[in-house]
Amino acid sequence: MECPDCGESYVSREVGPRWPPSTQFGDAIVDLEDGESAVLHRQCWTCGWSEDRHLTVTEIETEHGDPEAITHQQQLTQLVNELEQIDDTEVVKEILRDVRNRRSADIEPTGSEDGE
C-alpha cells in the first residue's frame, strides 16, 4: 500500500497485540476469541505517519473445525485487501458485518424447520 500522507510505499503493517508482527491479518482475525480485539498497526517509514486500527471479533463468526472455515478465511483475505483502502473504523465494522451477512446468504435456505 501507499502512505496516505506522503504517497511513498515504505509502509509497514503489523498485527497485535498477541500475534507475531508477521502474522497475516486475516489469520489473526480467524484466531480471535469472542470479544477480543486485534490491532492493525501501520507505519510509514518515510514521513512517520502511523495508524492503529482496532477490530473486535464480535462482528464476525469464528467456527473452528467447521468446513466453512476455509471459505470464511478466503473472505477475510478479501476483507483485509479492502481494509487497506479504508481509514475509517466505522466503515471497517460495516465491512465485517457485510462479510457475516454474505456468509449467511451463502447458505441455501432449505427451510427453517428441519429439526437438525
Q: List contacts with Zn ion (CB under 5 A).
A: 3, 5-6, 44, 46-47, 49
At a CB cut-off of 8 Å and minimum separation 6, what does 76 contact?
A: 26, 29, 30, 60, 99
CB of 12 to Zn ion, least distance (A): 11
Q: At its nearest, how many Å lie between Zn ion and the CB of residue 47? A: 3
Closer residue to Zn ion in complex, CB, 9/58: 9
Considering the complex, state which of residue 19 and residue 49 has its C-beta at the smaller distance from Zn ion.
Answer: 49
Other beta carbons within 10 angstroms of residue 82's beta carbon come to 13
Provide, rounded to whole angstroms, the least separation between the CB of residue 1 and Zn ion: 11
What is the distance between the alpha carbons of residues 80 and 86, in angstroms, rounded to a whole number? 10
Name the E strands within 45-96: 50-56
